[in-house]
Chains A and B, each alone.
Chain A
Amino acid sequence: MPKIITSKDVHLSYGPKEALHGISLDFEEHDITALIGPSGCGKSTYLRCLNRMNDLIKGVKITGSMKLEDQDIYAPGTDIVDLRKRVGMVFQQPNPFPFSVYENVAYGLRLAGEKDKHVLDERVETSLKQAAIWDEVKDHLYENALSFSGGQQQRICVARVLAVQPEVVLLDEPTSALDPISSAKIEDTLMNIRDQYTIIIVTHNMQQASRISDKTAFLLNGDLVEFSKTEKMFIHPDDEKTSDYLNGKFG
C-alpha cells in the first residue's frame, strides 16, 4: 500500500529541552496506527507535529522531514490551513463548540465557504452517521452540543472532523475521558471509517490498541523503540523494553 505520511529523523525541542530525539515513522494509506508508550514519552508531541499544532506553542523547534504524500509539511510555503483540512484532529477532552450539533459539524464546511443548505445538510448527516452518533442526535440537531454526554460529545467531535473529509485523522487519547461503553462506541466509529481514512491514534489502553490497530509504534522517552504489525508486536515484540512495557513492568 502507498505511504501517505513519511517522517524522517524528527527532532523537536520545547525551548532547551528536546522531547523527540529523531523519530522516523511512515504511515500507510487506510491503516490504523496506534502510538503507545508511557506518559511523557512524546506521543502527543509527535502527533501534533503532523498537523502543525505545535506551531501554536512558543519556543518549539523542529528539524527533520515530514511529508504528506510528497508535500513537505514544514516547507516554508506550506498552507497550514489546507494542511489542517487534510489532517484532522480529535482531542483528548471532548471539545465541541458551545453551538448546536448542526453548527458544530458544519463548522469546517462553512469555513471552506460552503453555503448550499443541501450540501451542508447532507454532509452533516453523513458525518454524524459515520461517527455512529446520528441516531442519538438526529432529533436534537439544533440543541447545544454541550448538553450531550461526554461520549456523545466526543463522537460529535469526530463527526466535525470527518465533515471536512480529511485524508488523515489524528486522535490523541480520544477515549481516556470516557466510560467503557462510550469508548467502545468510539472504537466502533473508527472501525466504521477505517476504509476511507488513514487513522493515527494515541492510546494508553493496550487492549484498545490491539483491538483496532493494524500497526503499533512504541515510543519511549522521545525515541521510537519498535514499529511493527500490531499482532506481531503484542505476541513477539523484538525489543525487550517493548515486552516489559506491554507486560506492565513499567509505565
Chain B
Amino acid sequence: MDEIKHDLQNPSKATHEDLFGRGITYLCIGFVSLLVISILYFITTRGLATFTTNHVSLWKFLSGTNWNPSLLDKHGNPQIGALPMIVTSFSVTVLAAVVATPFALGVALFMTEIAPERGTKILQPVIELLVGIPSVVYGFIGLSVIVPLIRHSFGGTGFGILAGTLVLFVMVLPTITSLSVDSIKAVPMFYRSASLALGATRWQTIYKVVLRSATPGILTAVIFGMSRAFGEALAVQMVIGNAVLMPHGLLTPSSTLTSQLTTGIGNTTMGTLPNNALWSLALILLLMSLVFNILVRVIGKRGALKK
C-alpha cells in the first residue's frame, strides 16, 4: 500500500528524464540566444560609437566619398565617407546575382525537368563541391586567373568590380542553383500533367507553369545568393583592389564593406575613431543581412498565401 502511495506521489523515472532533457535543451537555447544577443549588442554599440562618441554625422558617413579615418581633412573633420564601399558592395552583389541567376536556372531546370536522372547524378556532386571550396581558394584563382585575364583583355590593373563580380558569380551559383532546384521540385507533378494535357509543349509547361509556380522559391534563392555575395570578404578582398575610391566603372580598383573590414581591422586600436568607423561598416553589413532575411520571409509568406 505504502509503495503505491509512494509511486503515485513522487515523479516517476520517466518524468525525471523528461525534465532533465528539457533542462538541457533550454540551457542550450539560452546559451545560443545569449551569444546572438551579445553579438548584436556589441556590433551595435561599437558601430554607433562613431556617431555618439566621435560625433560624426550619420549623413556624412553614408554620403561622404572620402575614407581616411586616421587623418583629418583640411577643415579638421574626420574623413569617414562610406559611400564608395556601399556602392561597390551593392554593385558586386547585384551584378553577381544578375549574372548567376540565368545560369543557375538553366542548371536547375536541366537537373529537374530535362534530364532528372543524368543531370542530378552529374551536377549534384559538382554543386556540392563548389559549395565546399573555401573562399580563399576562389580568391586565389581570381587573383591568378581572372585578374590577369581582365588586365590583358581590357587594360588597367585588372582589379575591380568586374573581377569581384566574376569570383562571386562562381560562389553564389551553387547557392542559387540548389535552392532553385528545391523550389522547382516542389511544384506538384499534376500542374505539369494539367498543362501538357491542355496541349502545351514541354517548354511552354516549364516557363508558363513550372517557373511561374516556383517564382517565390526562386526569388528566395536569389536573395540567399545575394546575401552570401554581400557578406563574402576574403575572396573579394583578393581581387577588388582595395582602394577606397568611388568606382568609376567595372575596371577601377575599389573596395567593398567587407574587404575594407578585413584589410583595416588589424591596423587600428580599439576605441579609437578609425576602429569605431570600421565597426560602423560592420553595422551596415549586419543591417543588410537583416534586410535580406526579412525579404526572404516576406516572399515566403506571399508564396505560401498563393498556394
The interface of chain A, by Cβ under 8 A from chain B, is 51, 53, 56, 81-82, 84-85, 88-89, 91, 93, 95-99, 107-108, 110-112, 144, 146, 157, 160-161, 164
Q: Which residue of chain B has its CB nearest to the CB of A110?
A: B208
State A97–B190 Cα separation when bound (angstroms): 9
Provide the residues of chain B in CB contact with A112, threshold 8 Å.
199
State A81–B191 Cα separation when bound (angstroms): 17
* Number of A-B residue pairs having CB atoms within 8 Å of each other in the complex: 63
Whether the pair A108, B199 counts as a contact (CB closer than 8 A) is yes
Provide the residues of chain B in CB contact with A93, threshold 8 Å.
190
Q: Which residue of chain A has its CB nearest to the CB of B197?
A: A89
State A56–B190 Cα separation when bound (angstroms): 12
B11 to chain A: closest CB distance in Å?
48
Q: Is B66 an interface residue (CB 8 A)?
A: no
Residues of chain B in range 267-307 having any CB-CB distance to chain A below 8 Å? 306-307
Total interface residues in chain B, CB < 8 Å: 19
Given contacts A95-B194, A157-B194, contact A84 B199 (CB under 8 A): yes
State A91–B198 Cα separation when bound (angstroms): 12
Q: Is B10 an interface residue (CB 8 A)?
A: no
Given contacts A56-B193, A82-B199, contact A97 B213 (CB under 8 A): yes
State A104–B8 Cα separation when bound (angstroms): 63
Determine which of A85, A95, A144 lies in contact with B193 in the assembled complex, contact meaning CB atoms within 8 Å: A95
Whether the pair A99, B199 counts as a contact (CB closer than 8 A) is no
Query: What are the 3 tightest A-B residue pairs by CB atom distance, in nearest-first order?
Result: A85-B199, A84-B199, A95-B190
Whether the pair A98, B193 counts as a contact (CB closer than 8 A) is no
State A107–B190 Cα separation when bound (angstroms): 15
Provide the residues of chain A in CB contact with B197, threshold 8 Å.
51, 53, 84, 88-89, 91
The interface of chain B, by Cβ under 8 A from chain A, is 188, 190-191, 193-201, 204, 208-209, 212-213, 306-307
Provide the residues of chain B in CB contact with A111, threshold 8 Å.
198-200, 204, 208
Whether the pair A95, B191 counts as a contact (CB closer than 8 A) is yes
Provide the residues of chain B in CB contact with A110, threshold 8 Å.
208
Given contacts A99-B212, A107-B208, contact A160 B198 (CB under 8 A): yes
Q: Which residue of chain B has its CB nearest to the CB of A85?
A: B199
Determine which of B194, B199, B204 lies in contact with A97 in the assembled complex, contact meaning CB atoms within 8 Å: B194
State A112–B200 Cα separation when bound (angstroms): 9
Q: Which residue of chain B has its CB nearest to the CB of A107?
A: B198
Q: Which residue of chain A has its CB nearest to the CB of B306?
A: A98
Provide the residues of chain B in CB contact with A108, threshold 8 Å.
198-200
Q: Which residue of chain A has its CB nearest to the CB of B187?
A: A98
Q: Which residue of chain A has its CB nearest to the CB of B204?
A: A111
Whether the pair A88, B212 counts as a contact (CB closer than 8 A) is no
Provide the residues of chain A in CB contact with B191, threshold 8 Å.
95, 97-98
Whether the pair B199, A53 counts as a contact (CB closer than 8 A) is no
State A160–B200 Cα separation when bound (angstroms): 13
State A58–B193 Cα separation when bound (angstroms): 14
- Give 19 CB contacts A-B under 8 Å: A51-B197, A53-B193, A53-B196, A53-B197, A82-B199, A89-B197, A91-B193, A91-B194, A95-B193, A97-B191, A98-B306, A108-B199, A108-B200, A110-B208, A111-B198, A111-B199, A111-B200, A111-B208, A146-B307
Given contacts A95-B191, A97-B213, contact A164 B196 (CB under 8 A): no
A156 to chain B: closest CB distance in Å?
11
Given contacts A98-B306, A146-B307, contact A91 B190 (CB under 8 A): yes
